[in-house]
């Protein structure tokens, strides 16, 4: 691990700020959720298990290799982070939240395994999306406590879907949302856009019944 200390400090501050923002929005209740950021090509920083995401300190963050077995003490969901960084070198940050909106929307769309976003202006908050008319797929996966196997399933499906139609995130049914971006600011923008879009989708579907 050869990254200069100041870069590590910047990454720590970014993850700590993201955790604080998520907590302020009520997205990470009761120490749930986890946040990570890429330190360099083969290393990431990720939150340790069971920490209050609204009050993170550098001691709550672990630096891990993408090429070595995971050390103890990490979140059980760390494999989902690692698999995303391995699959897409452009990803700089991944934020995972247990918001009620994501938990509810994902469960309602679990049977179809897909939530389709289309017609919302805010879709343009996602990098590369220039029109509300674009149909964006948010894959939905059945929840599982076997996160190593789940990570394999997630990456297999994400790899099969056309990249231009994929929203920068996926849902775990009854559980929450994973969202990512090229850096921390973009990941946070995507997380916030998802929250509003999923709420809009829920309200829209309710109004159509
Ligand atoms: Zn979770």
Task: Using the Cα atoms of residue 106, residue 109, residue 111 and residue 113 in order, give the sign of their dihedral.
Answer: negative
All structural domains of the chain, each given as residue ranges with its CATH number in brackets, are 5-208 (3.40.225.10)
Tokens of 203: 């309200």
Q: How far is the CA of 130 from the centre of ligand 1 (A)?
A: 30
Tokens of 33: 């959720």
The Cα–Cα gap between 113 and 47 comes to: 28
Q: How far is the CA of 22 from the centre of ligand 1 (A)?
A: 13
The Cα–Cα gap between 51 and 62 comes to: 12
Q: How far is the CA of 117 from the centre of ligand 1 (A)?
A: 22
Q: How far is the CA of 107 from the centre of ligand 1 (A)?
A: 14
DSSP state of 51: -
Q: How far is the CA of 99 from the centre of ligand 1 (A)?
A: 10
pLDDT per 10-residue tile (average), the chain, 209 residues:
76 97 96 96 96 95 96 92 98 98 97 97 96 96 96 97 94 98 98 98 93
pLDDT at 5: 65
Report the candidate in 33, 163, 149 with the shortest Cα–Cα distance to residue 90: 163
Greatest Cα-to-Cα distance within the chain, rounded to the nearest angstrom: 56
């Amino acid at each position: 691990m050869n990254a200069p200390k100041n870069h590590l400090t910047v990454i720590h501050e970014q993850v700590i700020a993201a955790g604080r923002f998520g907590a302020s929005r009520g997205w990470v209740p009761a120490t749930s959720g986890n946040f990570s950021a890429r330190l360099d090509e083969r290393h990431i920083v990720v939150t340790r298990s069971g920490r209050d995401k609204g009050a993170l300190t550098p001691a709550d963050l672990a630096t891990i290799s993408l090429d070595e077995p995971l050390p103890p003490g990490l979140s059980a969901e760390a494999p989902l982070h690692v698999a995303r960084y391995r699959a897409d070198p452009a990803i700089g940050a991944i934020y995972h939240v247990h918001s009620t909106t994501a938990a509810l929307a994902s469960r309602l769309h679990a049977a179809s395994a897909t939530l389709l976003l289309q017609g919302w202006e805010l879709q343009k908050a996602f990098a590369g999306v220039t029109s509300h008319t674009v149909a964006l797929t948010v894959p939905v996966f059945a929840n599982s406590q076997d996160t190593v196997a789940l990570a394999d399933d997630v990456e297999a499906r994400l790899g099969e879907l056309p990249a231009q139609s994929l929203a920068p995130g996926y849902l775990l049914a009854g559980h929450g949302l994973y969202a990512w971006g090229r850096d921390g600011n973009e990941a946070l923008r995507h997380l916030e856009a998802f929250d509003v879009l999923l709420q809009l989708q829920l309200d829209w579907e309710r109004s159509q019944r």
